[in-house]
Amino acid sequence: MQYIWLIWSLIILGLWMVVYFFKRDFRKIMLPVSLATMLFGFTEPLFVPGYWFPPSLFDLAQKTGFDIESFIFSFAIGGIGAVLYRILFPVAEIEMDIEEKKHRRHHLHTYILIVPVLIFFILTVTTRVNHIYCGIISLFTGALATLYCRPDLKVKIWMGGLLFMLLYFIYFGSILIFFPGYVKAYWNLNALTGILISGIPIEELLFAFTFGMFWSGLYEHIYWQKIANHKDYKRRLLVS
């Protein structure tokens, strides 16, 4: 089982590459989001060995807490999470009007974007809760904050969470078909709820759901984009 984590990471990276090369219009979203998400690889020591302790390339996880696989995995899920909704439900996006940007909800725009980081830091410093729960709570809180600031993205955010959780369920389940003992061997189940759904720790699915929620609206939130409808298009055409 030495290279399962590496193979697992490369599989999801392969999926990222397929989307990137065949969906050219997604590239401007995927690459910057993936590069930003890749930085979460630096948080791996917070999860090893408290959450899990996988064999890694060059035994880096065991020796340092860091591993190359985490950076590959984080890079891949960032880009996929940002465009998954658009793959299944093609939509056009346009920039928000200046007047829309002035709405009082957007006065906290910058602060809302960093809510997950702040919540994660506070929970990590002030509690002894397993860091996976800190991550789940932070991402969910960040998604709710985004919903407050960008209620126009509510369908995309909730569906993004469900879609990414479904993708992750299939992805994780495919690993267990070939390596059914992987979870019990390398997850610290005694420190978790111990609830498994088709062999998958419920914490993994909750992470996937909250990650998909927050990441599905991240690009639009940062760059002031919104999903265009017929009325928007008509108004823009008249203006131009």
Quote the mean pLDDT of the chain.
Answer: 90
Confidence of residue 200 (pLDDT cuts 50, 70, 90): very high
Q: What is the pLDDT of residues 126-168, one digit of tens each?
A: 999 999 999 999 999 999 999 998 888 999 999 999 999 999 9
pLDDT given at position 240? 43
CA-to-CA dists, residue 208 to 165, 216, 228, angstroms: 5, 12, 27
pLDDT given at position 48? 94
Structure tokens at 231: 């009325």
pLDDT (mean) for 2-30: 94
pTM tops 0.85, yes or no: yes
Q: What is the pLDDT of residues 163-187, one digit of tens each?
A: 999 999 999 999 999 999 999 999 9
Calpha distance 60→54 (Å, rounded): 10
Q: Tell me how many domains the chain contains.
A: 1
Q: Give residue 83's domain range.
A: 4-239
Confidence of residue 225 (pLDDT cuts 50, 70, 90): confident
Which amino acid is residue 72, in one-letter code? I
Q: What is the pLDDT of residues 130-141, one digit of tens each?
A: 999 999 999 999
